[in-house]
Structure 1
Amino acid sequence: MTQFTRIMVDPHRRHARWAMTSLERQHAIIARSLDPDRAGGERSLWRLDKGRNGSPSRLYIVSDSVPDIRVLHDELDVGPHDVASCAYEPFLDRLCIGQEWGFRLRANPTRSLASTEHGRRGRRVGISRIDEQLQWLERKSRECGFHMPINRLELPEVVIRDSRTVDFTRQGATVTLTSAVYDGVLAVDDPELLRATLLDGIGRAKGYGFGLLTLVPLTGDRRAIVGVR
Structure 2
Amino acid sequence: MTQFTRIIIDPNHRHTRWALQSLERMHAIVARTMDPHGILDARGLWRLDLGRAGKPCRLYIVSDNVPDFTVLNEEFGIGTEAVATCSYEPFLGNLDVGQEWGFRLKANPTRSIASGSSAKRGRRVGLVKVEDQLEWLYRKARESGFHMPINRLEMPEVMVRNSETVDFVRKNGTVAFASATYDGVLAVDDPELLRKALTCGIGRAKGYGFGLLTLVPLPKGR
Q: Would you say the 8 A contact 1:31–1:41 is kept in 2? A: no
When normalised by structure 1's length, the TM-score is 0.95
In the aligned structure 2, how far is the partner of 1:88 from the partner of 1:40? Answer: 20
Uncovered stretches (5+) of structure 1, i.e. residues with no partner:
223-229
CA displacement 1:102-148 (0-9 Å, x = unmatched): 00000000000010334211100000000010000000000000000
In the aligned structure 2, how far is the partner of 1:221 from the partner of 1:174? Answer: 48
In the aligned structure 2, how far is the partner of 1:58 from the partner of 1:64? Answer: 20
Matched residue, 2:92: 92
Matched residue, 1:215: 215
Matched residue, 2:123: 123
Matched residue, 1:227: none
> Secondary structure of 2:24's match?
helix
Range 197-206 or range 116-125, more displaced: 116-125
Range 100-109 or range 113-122, more displaced: 113-122
Runs of 4+ in structure 1 off by over 3 angstroms are: none
Q: Say how many residue pairs are matched.
A: 222
In the aligned structure 2, how far is the partner of 1:90 from the partner of 1:44? Answer: 18
Uncovered stretches (5+) of structure 2, i.e. residues with no partner:
none
RMSD: 1.0
Asked whether 1:176 is paired with 2:176, we answer yes
> Secondary structure of 2:153's match?
coil
> Secondary structure of 1:8's match?
strand
| Structure 1 position 41, deviation (Å) | 2.2
Q: Would you say the 8 A contact 1:160–1:182 is kept in 2? A: yes
**Cα gap change, 1:52 to 1:221, in 2 (>3 Å):** farther
When normalised by structure 2's length, the TM-score is 0.98
Q: Percent identity?
A: 66
Matched residue, 1:137: 137
> Secondary structure of 1:180's match?
strand
In the aligned structure 2, how far is the partner of 1:96 from the partner of 1:33? Answer: 32
Asked whether 1:9 is paired with 2:9, we answer yes
1:74-93 paired onto structure 2 within 5 Å: 74-93=74-93
In the aligned structure 2, how far is the partner of 1:90 from the partner of 1:28? Answer: 29
